A and B are shown apart, each in its own frame.
Chain A
Amino acid sequence: MSVLQLTSVTKEYGGKPAVRALDDVSLRIEAGELTAIVGPSGSGKSTLMNVIGTLDRPTRGEVMIEGEATSAMSDAQLAGLRARRIGFVFQQFHLLAGLSAAANVATGLLYRGIKPKERERRSHHALERVGLGHRIDHRPGALSGGERQRVAIARALVGDPAIVLADEPTGNLDSKTSEEIVNLMLELNSEGSTIVVITHDNELAELFPRRVRVLDGRIDSDVQVEALIGAV
């Protein structure tokens, strides 16, 4: 069973004539994969990310997460699916300014009804995994950009989702920090996390073992390079 399976997904945006952002896309991602979805702006990769993350519904086609079809699910059911199966990392981090790093990470478990004590314990663990065990009580304002993104990654990981979606995770970071974030992703992947990174940056994409190239709403190429894992 694939972690993620897209079957003939088409996404059109309203208006006449309708804009076709995704055109008959089929894609399958297996557990443990580290995939880069790469394409220039306007290629449809952001739409693809939203559809994979169930933040947006396809016009036609089916998105299956761990074998479950999502097209028939209600809005609340999709929310439940996101709470348990999908972790998100955003370009602007989207951390809550009023909360400590640990509390921000713990919001990754907030909508699963987990008790505060347990949330706290798991958030500390997740922060240690991303190398921020010493920044637990810091507010986002006291953290560097790279550290903020690590907090966001910890928040995505804390619930042990089936898949982590990262949308331009290095878009707001300098090249050195970006490299650290990429290395963190490779490391987390080697520990078993399934990660999909969406980026417009070809160089960055080259660092990932699987590269899915999107162009004009279609999958242009899908390359898998096993050997790269050890190289970084």
Chain B
Amino acid sequence: MNRSRLRFADLIRTGLLGLTTRLGRTILTAGGIAIGIASMVSVLGISSSSTADVLSELDRLGTNLLAVEAGASFLDDDVRLPDTSSARIRRIPATENAAALTPVSVDIVKSDVMPSGRNGGVQVSATEAELLDTLAGTVADGRFLSTGDGQLPVVVLGSEAAERFGISSVKHRPAVQLGEHRFAVVGILEPLVLYPDIDRMALIGFDVAENLFDSKRAPGTVYLRTDPDYVEQVRNILARTVDPASPSSVSVTRPSEALSAKAEVNKSLTNLLLGLGAVALVVGGVGIANVMVISVLERRGEIGVRRALGATRRHIAAQFVVESAALALIGGTVGVGIGALVTIGYAKRQDWTVSVPLEGLALGVLAALVIGAVAGLYPAVRAARLDPAEAVRPA
């Protein structure tokens, strides 16, 4: 029997013909899908870039950092840990590094001509040379405090403190005034992501603090870095180690938990936005189905003629599915492009490392194709069911 036969290339060509003949409608309909795909791709891309950023930060800072503070007290503002805290913490075998940080009550100003009290909220703190390594911080310019500084009046400024004093470099030997004493600025820190408080501090050594400002050695906070495998164990014994008499007055925190939580929040927000993108995509698919149903009604004559020329019901159905899938594919491709551009643009603005997941892009195009094909099924079946004798009749 001589059956009808439609070559695959001819099927594709026939499907595309419907799109090129009605260009305006094609653009509008594909636009719906493009918006859905673009929003999903950019949500995925932005969240993956942002998560990558948080995770790389987390990676760099490590999750094995703990902070020990005296618990807040109603009776005393200036709560301190016992003097021996640092020494006790260093004796824990799993402690790799530890440094104490203590507020010093002295005013800091840029120069002696500046009235006191106008230091822009910069806090002077005494600390140890190990602080920088413990916090995995870096110096933007100059150096950090060292054990050899002894009684030398040197100070290291946090990034924000330096900015407030208008000091961006140590090249010209800048100095600041701490109470009665002139201190040489020997270093400026890079911002510390986990400790924005330290960004606003001016750091000096314990020895000089004790000598010049009569500061006590009892630390306000001790930061410690532990063996990564024993973080929880160390955390559990820290309070009792630091203050065996009243462990409940000691609070222990793990700053990296804030970042992990941020990554988690990111994730749930991403899921929500992805859901919205999916809704947009489905709406786009419904739009395609709508337009295709109208198209079938309008093109009764064409369908009838094709049936008269020998097209089977399958050929007609396939033509409309191809047309609808191609429509969505155009939308999907444009959407993926827009989504990628939005991601790159946003990540650049946020100073993130751009992370556009390639499989996400491929998935976007594939999703559009599938949605288009599914959306085209119902109109295609309607087209195929048209009675050819009815379809060729003048309307």
Contact B304 A94 (CB under 8 A): yes
Q: Say yes or no: is A232 at the interface (Cβ < 8 Å to chain B).
A: no
- Against A, the Cβ 8 Å flags (1 = close, 0 = not) of B365-395 are 0000000000000000000000111001110
Contacts of A91 in B (CB 8 A): 394
CB distance from B245 to the nearest CB of A (A): 90
How far in angstroms is the closest Cβ of chain B from A56? 4
CA distance A192 to B311 in the complex (A): 26
The interface-forming segment of B13-21, B148-156, B326-334 is B13-21
Q: Is A50 an interface residue (CB 8 A)?
A: yes
Count A-B pairs with CB separation below 8 Å.
100
Query: B313 — which chain A residues lie within 8 A by C-beta?
Result: 75-76, 79
Check B302 against A96 for contact (C-beta < 8 Å). Answer: yes
Given contacts A55-B392, A111-B309, A111-B315, contact A80 B302 (CB under 8 A): no
CA distance A37 to B1 in the complex (A): 30
B294 at the interface (CB under 8 A from A): no
**A55-B388, A97-B21 are contacts. A80–B305 as well, Cβ < 8 Å?**
no
Q: Which of A103-123 contact B (CB under 8 A)?
A: 107-108, 110-113, 115-116
CA gap between A111 and B6 in the complex, in Å: 5
Is B2 a contact partner of A84 (Cβ separation < 8 A)? Answer: yes
Q: Does the CB pair B7–A113 fall under 8 Å?
A: yes
Q: Would B3 and A82 count as touching, CB distance under 8 A?
A: no
CA distance A84 to B393 in the complex (A): 22
Contacts A76-B3, A80-B1, A83-B4 given; indicate if A112 touches B305 (C-beta within 8 A): no
Asked if A208 lies at the interface with its beta carbon under 8 angstroms from chain B, I say: no
- Complex Cα–Cα for A80 and B309 (A): 9
Q: Do A113 and B305 have beta carbons less than 8 Å apart? A: no
Checking B4, B314, B387, B392 against A90 with a beta-carbon cut-off of 8 angstroms, the contacting residue is: B392
Which of chain A's residues have a CB closer than 8 A to the CB of B5? Answer: 111-113
> Do B389 and A50 touch (CB < 8 A)?
yes
Q: Knowing A90-B305, A91-B394, A94-B302, say if A110 contacts B17 (CB, 8 Å).
A: no
For B308, list chain A residues within 8 Å (CB). Answer: 53, 55, 82, 86, 88
Write the chain B residue with the least CB distance to A50.
Answer: B389
Interface residue A98 (Cβ < 8 Å from any Cβ of B): yes
Could you tell me how many residues of chain A have their Cβ less than 8 Å away from some Cβ of chain B? 34
User: Does residue B10 face the partner (Cβ distance < 8 Å to A)?
Assistant: yes
- Residues of A within 8 Å of B392, CB to CB, are 55, 88, 90, 94, 167
B residues near A184, Cβ cutoff 8 Å = none
* A103 nearest CB across to chain B (Å): 9
Cα distance A30–B294 in the bound complex, in angstroms:
43
Chain A residues with Cβ under 8 A from B110's Cβ?
A: none
Q: Is the CB of B4 within 8 A of A55?
A: no
- Asked if B1 contacts A98 (CB within 8 A), the reply is no
User: What residues on B are CB-neighbors of A92 within 8 Å?
Assistant: 301, 394
Given A55-B389, A98-B21, check contact A80 B307 (CB 8 Å): no
Taking the closest CB of chain B, its distance from the CB of A57, in whole angstroms, is 9
Given the interface pairs A88-B305, A96-B17, A98-B20, the reply to whether A111 lies near B389 with Cβ below 8 Å is: no
With a cutoff of 8 Å between Cβ atoms, the chain A residues found around residue B10 in the complex are 110, 116
CB–CB B2/A76 < 8 A: no
Judge if B310 is at the interface, Cβ distance under 8 Å.
Answer: yes
A64 to chain B minimum Cβ distance, whole angstroms, is 15
Q: Mark A162-173, 1 if CB is under 8 A from B, else 0.
A: 000001000000
Inter-subunit contact B302/A111 (CB<8 Å) = no
Question: Most chain-B CB neighbours within 10 Å: which of A46, A53, A82, A167?
Answer: A82
Please indicate the chain A residues that have their CB under 8 angstroms from the CB of B309 in the complex.
Answer: 82-83, 88, 107-108, 110-111, 155
Residues of B within 8 Å of A80, CB to CB, are 1-4, 310, 312
Distance from B165 Cβ to chain A, minimum over Cβ atoms (Å): 72
Residues of B within 8 A of A113 (CB): 5-7
Complexed CA–CA distance, A81 and B17 (Å): 25
- Closest A residue to B17 using CB positions: A98
**Complex contact B310–A111 (CB within 8 A):** yes
Cβ-defined contact, A94 with B310, below 8 A = no
Which residue of chain A is the closest to B394 with respect to CB atoms?
A92
Indicate if the CB atoms of B21 and A55 lie closer than 8 Å. Answer: no
Which residues on the B side are within 8 Å of A46 (C-beta)? 393
Q: Which residues of B contact A27 (CB under 8 A)?
A: none
Q: How far is the CA of A111 from the CA of B14 in the complex (A)?
A: 11
CB of B305 within 8 A of CB of A79, answer no
Residues of A within 8 A of B314 (CB): 76
Once A90-B305, A91-B394 are accepted as A-B contacts, the answer to whether A81 and B2 lie under 8 Å apart by CB is yes
| A99 partner, pick from B17, B306, B387, B393, beta carbons under 8 A | B17
Instruction: Give the docked Cα–Cα distance between A82 and B305 (Å).
Output: 11
Supplied contacts A98-B20, A108-B309, 13 more A-B pairs, CB within 8 Å: A46-B393, A50-B389, A79-B3, A79-B313, A80-B1, A82-B308, A83-B4, A92-B394, A94-B301, A94-B302, A94-B392, A111-B6, A112-B310
**Can you give 14 contacting A-B residue pairs, CB < 8 Å?**
A55-B388, A76-B3, A80-B2, A80-B3, A82-B4, A82-B307, A82-B308, A90-B392, A94-B301, A111-B6, A113-B6, A115-B7, A155-B309, A167-B392
- In the A-B complex, list the 6 residue pairs whose CB atoms are closest, starting with the nearest: A83-B310, A113-B5, A98-B21, A111-B310, A50-B389, A56-B389
B residues with a Cβ closer than 8 A to A are 1-7, 9-10, 14, 17, 20-21, 301-302, 304-315, 387-389, 392-394
